Amino acid sequence: MLKQRLIDALGADAVKTEPEDLAVYAFDAYSQGVVPAAVVLPANTREVAAAVKIAKDCGEPIVARGAGTGLCGGAAPARGGVVFSFARMNRVLEVDVRNRRARVQPGLINLDLSKHVAASGLFYAPDPSSQKVSTIGGNIGTNAGGPHCLSYGTTVNHILELEIVDENGDVTTTSVDDIGYDLTGLLVGSEGTLAIVCSAWVRLLRQPETVRVWLAAFDDINAASAAVTGIIGAGIIPTALEMLDRVMLPPIEAAFHAGYPTDAAAVLLIESAGFEDEMNLHENEIRRVMKENGATTWRAAKSQAERDALWAGRKGALGATGRLAPNYYIQDVVVPRTKLPQALKAVEDACAPQGIIAGNVFHAGDGNLHPLLLYDRGDPKQVAAVIEAGNEILKAAVDLGGTISGEHGIGSEKRDTLRRIFSTDDLATMSRVREVFDPRRSLNPEKIFPAGVGCAEVA
Amino acid sequence: MIASTLPDKIVPKSLDALRETLERCDREGLKVSVEGGKTLSGMGPVLPRADVALITTALSAILAHEYHDLTCSAQSGVRVAQLNAALGEHGQFIPIDVPLRKKATIGGSLAAGWPGPRRHMYGRARDFVIGSQVALADGTLANAGGMVVKNVSGYDMSKLYIGSFGTLAVFTQLNFKTLPLPKKRRAMIAPLPEATRARAIERIASLVVPPAAAFCVEGFGKNVDGADDIDGRVLLYFEGTEELLERATLDTRSALGKAGVPETTIVDTGAAESLDRTIDACIANKRGRSITYRLFGSPGTAQERAERMRDACNRHELFTDVLFDVMNGDVFVRASERDASHFGAKIEACHADLRELEPRCTIVACDSVARASFEAWGAVPPAIEKMRAMKARFDPHGTLNPGRFIGGI
């Protein structure tokens, strides 16, 4: 019934029902969910709306999916249902160069947008490390960040207007310029639990006149943390300020030949983009703070190729962990920037007693840590140890005044952890929004909210 | 129309007092007018019924300035200028560009969601809010976000409350990320008669070093600097290092010169105040005889929209002052009359014309008498039904500013 109706509405090519096809869509980069009953690949908003109505009629939950690169189970169906893939809605629909904005479909790959508008001297700022594969729709779902959001802000700061399909299959639009509630700001980061985004007007920025990238190495990770605090405290906000530690440097260098020292305790990768006139001043100030905090190496990338190599190492860091262990588990927590030394120590304290090696590659300027816990999935003891250490890290971040996710989202992974930062009243308030948009909880069910918040999910 | 009643005023001095007031009003069916510095009270209709005016100005503590983290936290009744003065002691600020910032509270400014002229450069004030606490209609306190600069833990509820005009909840506390203060500011003012305007605006929009704010102004007299340029003027505000501003100045003079603008005046001392005066002008009101409209849109169409609205006002023989934001596209048009007794009849016809021309233009400054006569917000947005449902879910008894916002929410 469901399958036939979907095929009638979208065409056989746009509906997948074979078990071997469906099995793939049970996964995302974090977890395995329940195999969906069907996968649809709509070609336009009308087809999205039609498929939503059919899923609703048949009582099937709906999971909208980008590239599945999410790291918290947000795209893995918790109850099966109908998965919406936006692989066929992947175009740039319109570029408005004068007003620096573009209208795009949700399946567009993040990096492809910047490539598309590069000739006009523009770029799309949010740059999650997954940007070669992850989609704008998925980025909107998680309010994705990236190294450069230190200065440019996360995805929500770059979304101007959304075309959405709601749980009834009705199409509407929201705009940051609408008089009324800022539903656009609310929808970004709602992990597909409120509506399905079918197109978006996004903000584009002018390419900076000058970009400089520097590398500073330290023989003590606390000195590197102090240097981060020193830069921010001195009132300098670089475009990006990333840290890589001693565990991660050798495998990254081996994989990418990026030019990182392999014997340092920590490396800071710093980028400043802007006007030539200000750049020497920035460089001098940043260099001074680095030296004052004991940097053993200071190097400026001399060419675009050198800059690209340094960034390729940073953005490919997760893949390089394969040289250290069969599997990794990446955490995503944020602490106030001055608490980085304590947070890094907490990571070490959580992992070392369990015999787990943890590497760190993260957005230091934002206080956004990404400890990589290295382990072997085949060893149940290691799996249990990683889970426990991950929880300890979450607890430590909260104790330090931080939060449990900076850019990956809550998904299924952290839904019960949400209670650590929000009271019952806070969560009940959040739940009111869900009730307005999705009273039956059919959109990406069992995500974000802890079990038991909101009547529909009480066990 | 139901006559408004003079409400009792309550100025809670503590969070508990505010909560208790709301809880009681909600329970007893009393309607609450939520107020901060009342600087934007000229927006939206007069409440059909307000039993209690709940004024947040006594919640005026700056709770934290973690300057090494570039974050701060303050109660909602803190004035915008007061907060920025405190942040300034450590060389930081938040770009909340609202009119009358010495009087405007941070809670009221964020509740009004006023989008400032520097947003094309820094982002909207909403983008600096990293956490908030609100009191819901029944007095329940709810927190959102936190004190870290990046956070995707659950829905970003602050976004929902920002710009909701106090119809969903009352801000009690706001947490912000801050920015380092620019090292130097400079204002540049030049005459800009209509013949040169379009060319000059195109050149300003494509300056390599863009101004932090840029306005094209016709009229507004001494409310805005450069009042001697009666045919129109452009006001540009730059922020950055000395070196950058020198370059910006040369580039701007050259660009404007090529557009046919011969003279540019530089203002260094008092540049920030000059920007403040221009922002204030957006709601400058002539008592009983003016209405100011605001219309959002893309920067590329701002001049055209502004001129269309101006011409419509002129057709009704009203005086017209026009101000538009070159970088963001916001248009402000003030229609006025010297003689208050003639204003009513003229503006009624003019208002109808403007709404036909630009259904989404909004009244931002107007006396209560005139506000009673006109629908203030303009055409409802496409998602109004979701907004209505939100209001019903957050404020089921219609306690908070009922009828204050668009579509009667």
Strand partners, A15: A40
- Which of A 237-296 lie inside 8 A of B, CB atoms? 237, 275, 277-278, 281
User: Which run of H or E residues covers position B129?
Assistant: strand B129-136
What three-state secondary structure class fits A373?
strand
- Please indicate if any CB of chain B lies within 8 Å of the CB of A41: no
Cα-based torsion angle of the residue sequence B179, A406, A427, A186 in order, rounded to the nearest 10 degrees: 70
Candidate from A278, A336, A368 with C-beta closest to B71: A336
What is the chain A residue with the closest CA to B329?
A: A99
CB-CB under 8 Å, B386 with A166: yes
What is the chain B residue with the closest CA to A175?
A: B381
What three-state secondary structure class fits B56?
coil
What ipTM was assigned to the predicted interfaces of this complex? 0.96
Q: How many CB pairs under 8 A join A and B?
A: 215
- Please indicate if any CB of chain B lies within 8 Å of the CB of A99: yes
Question: Over the stretch B158-169, which tens digit does the pLDDT of each residue have?
Answer: 999 999 999 999
Contact between A189 and A195 under an 8 Å Cβ cutoff? The reply is: no
Regarding whether A28 and A106 lie in a shared domain, the answer is: no
Question: Over the stretch B95-148, which tens digit does the pLDDT of each residue have?
Answer: 999 999 999 999 999 999 999 999 999 999 999 999 999 999 999 999 999 999
Q: Are strands A82-85 and A62-65 parallel, antiparallel or unpaired?
A: parallel
pLDDT of res. B367? 80
CB-CB under 8 Å, A99 with B69: no
pLDDT of res. B4? 42
Cα-based torsion angle of the residue sequence A63, A64, A70, A71 in order, rounded to the nearest 10 degrees: -20
Contact between B108 and B39 under an 8 Å Cβ cutoff? The reply is: yes
- Which of B 261-320 lie inside 8 A of A, CB atoms? 296-300
Question: Over the stretch B110-120, which tens digit does the pLDDT of each residue have?
Answer: 999 999 999 99
Rounded to the nearest integer, the mean pLDDT of chain A is 95
What three-state secondary structure class fits A175?
strand
Distance from CA of B288 to the nearest CA of A (A): 25
Question: Over the stretch A62-88, which tens digit does the pLDDT of each residue have?
Answer: 999 999 999 999 999 999 999 999 999
> Is residue A15 scored above 80 in pLDDT?
yes
For position A51, which CATH number holds?
3.30.43.10
Candidate from B127, B155, B381 with C-beta closest to A178: B381
- Please indicate if any CB of chain A lies within 8 Å of the CB of B175: no
User: Which run of H or E residues covers position A268?
Assistant: strand A266-274
CA B125, A213, A144, A171 dihedral sign is positive
Residues 6+ apart with CB under 8 A from B90: B65, B67
Regarding whether A54 and A19 lie in a shared domain, the answer is: yes
Candidate from A236, A278, A432 with C-beta closest to B244: A278
Q: Which residues of B touch A407 (CB under 8 A)?
A: 150, 152
Contact between A139 and A155 under an 8 Å Cβ cutoff? The reply is: yes
B290-371: what fold?
Alpha-Beta Plaits (3.30.70)
What is the chain B residue with the closest CA to A438?
A: B386
Among candidate residues A56, A85, A114, the one where a domain is terminated: A85
pLDDT of res. A454? 65
pLDDT of res. B5? 47
Region A378-403: mean pLDDT is: 96
**What is the side-by-side strand order in the sheet with B8-10?**
B8-10, B52-55, B32-35
Residue (of B109, B127, B107, B42) closest to B332 by Cα position: B42
d(CA A405, CA A330): 11
- Please indicate if any CB of chain B lies within 8 Å of the CB of A158: no
Q: Which amino acid is at B199?
A: R
CB-CB under 8 Å, A236 with B151: no
Region B329-334: mean pLDDT is: 98
- Please indicate if any CB of chain A lies within 8 Å of the CB of B166: no
> Is residue B7 scored above 70 in pLDDT?
no
- Please indicate if any CB of chain B lies within 8 Å of the CB of A358: no
- Please indicate if any CB of chain B lies within 8 Å of the CB of A146: no
Regarding whether A116 and A199 lie in a shared domain, the answer is: yes
d(CA B260, CA B256): 6
CB-CB under 8 Å, A433 with B152: no
Regarding whether A153 and A80 lie in a shared domain, the answer is: no
For position A135, which CATH number holds?
3.30.465.10
Contact between A350 and A329 under an 8 Å Cβ cutoff? The reply is: no
Regarding whether A221 and A183 lie in a shared domain, the answer is: no
- Which of A 394-413 lie inside 8 A of B, CB atoms? 401-410
Distance from CA of A189 to the nearest CA of B (A): 7
What is the chain B residue with the closest CA to A281?
A: B241
Question: Over the stretch B214-248, which tens digit does the pLDDT of each residue have?
Answer: 999 999 988 888 877 778 999 999 999 999 999 99
As to burial, measured by CB atoms within 10 angstroms (0-12 exposed, 13-18 middle, 19+ buried), residue A332 is buried
Topology alike, domains B184-279 and B290-371? yes
CB-CB under 8 Å, A190 with B155: yes
Regarding whether A197 and A98 lie in a shared domain, the answer is: yes
Contact between B131 and B74 under an 8 Å Cβ cutoff? The reply is: no
Question: Over the stretch A276-323, which tens digit does the pLDDT of each residue have?
Answer: 988 998 999 999 999 999 999 999 999 999 999 999 999 899 889 999
Contact between A196 and A64 under an 8 Å Cβ cutoff? The reply is: yes
Among candidate residues A85, A117, A139, the one where a domain is terminated: A85
* Tokens found for residue A249: 């440097």
Of the listed ranges A54-58, A329-333, B3-7, the one predicted with least confidence: B3-7
Region B31-35: mean pLDDT is: 97
d(CA B247, CA A54): 60
Q: What percent of chain A has pLDDT over 90?
A: 94
Distance from CA of B339 to the nearest CA of A (A): 32
What three-state secondary structure class fits A16?
strand
Q: Are strands A327-330 and A240-245 parallel, antiparallel or unpaired?
A: unpaired
- Please indicate if any CB of chain A lies within 8 Å of the CB of B133: no
Distance from CA of A29 to the nearest CA of B (A): 18
Please give the DSSP secondary-structure letter assigned to residue A40: E
pLDDT of res. A457? 42
CA A449 to chain centre: 18
Regarding whether A202 and A96 lie in a shared domain, the answer is: yes
Q: Which residues of B touch A405 (CB under 8 A)?
A: 151-153
pLDDT of res. A46? 98
Regarding whether A303 and A227 lie in a shared domain, the answer is: yes
Segments forming the whole domain that contains residue A129: 92-206
Please give the DSSP secondary-structure letter assigned to residue A32: B
Among candidate residues A22, A51, A85, the one where a domain is terminated: A85
Q: Which residues of A touch B382 (CB under 8 A)?
A: 172-174, 178
For position A371, which CATH number holds?
3.30.70.2740
Region B319-345: mean pLDDT is: 94
- Please indicate if any CB of chain A lies within 8 Å of the CB of B345: no
Quickly count: other Cβ atoms within 10 Å of residue A257's Cβ.
Answer: 11
> Is residue B262 scored above 90 in pLDDT?
no
Distance from CA of A160 to the nearest CA of B (A): 11
* Tokens found for residue B137: 């209609």
Region B51-77: mean pLDDT is: 97
Q: Which residues of B touch A402 (CB under 8 A)?
A: 146, 148
Distance from CA of B96 to the nearest CA of A (A): 15
Q: Which residue ranges make up each domain of chain B? A: 1-181+379-409, 184-279, 290-371
CB-CB under 8 Å, B208 with A401: no
CB-CB under 8 Å, A407 with B150: yes
What three-state secondary structure class fits B370?
helix
CB-CB under 8 Å, B180 with A190: no
> Is residue B2 scored above 50 in pLDDT?
no
CB-CB under 8 Å, A425 with B152: no
d(CA A268, CA A327): 25
Residues 6+ apart with CB under 8 A from B177: B70, B71, B94, B128, B130, B149
When scoring B153, B183, B301, B391 by the number of chain A Cβ atoms within 10 A, the one with the most, hence best to mutate, is: B153
Residue (of B152, B151, B174, B180) closest to B161 by Cα position: B174
Options 2.60.40.10, 3.30.70.3450, 3.40.50.2300, 3.30.70.3040; which CATH number does B184-279 get? 3.30.70.3450
d(CA B1, CA B73): 41
Q: Which residues of B touch A149 (CB under 8 A)?
A: 150
* Tokens found for residue B261: 């603008």
d(CA A389, CA A225): 22
Q: Which amino acid is at B162?
A: I
Region A110-137: mean pLDDT is: 97
What are the strands, taking DSSP E only, across A126-230?
159-165, 171-175, 196-203, 205-206, 210-218
* Tokens found for residue B187: 């204002």
Rounded to the nearest integer, the mean pLDDT of chain B is 94
d(CA A283, CA A297): 15
Count of domains observed in chain A = 5
Residues 6+ apart with CB under 8 A from B51: B5, B7, B8, B25, B30, B31, B32
Regarding whether A202 and A97 lie in a shared domain, the answer is: yes
- Please indicate if any CB of chain A lies within 8 Å of the CB of B48: no
* Tokens found for residue B73: 């936290």
- Please indicate if any CB of chain A lies within 8 Å of the CB of B390: yes
> Is residue A458 scored above 50 in pLDDT?
no
For residue B4, CA distances in Å to A202, A403, B30, B46 come to: 43, 46, 14, 8
- Please indicate if any CB of chain B lies within 8 Å of the CB of A208: no
Strand partners, A270: A214, A241
Options 3.30.465.10, 3.40.50.1820, 3.40.50.920, 3.40.50.720; which CATH number does B1-181+379-409 get? 3.30.465.10
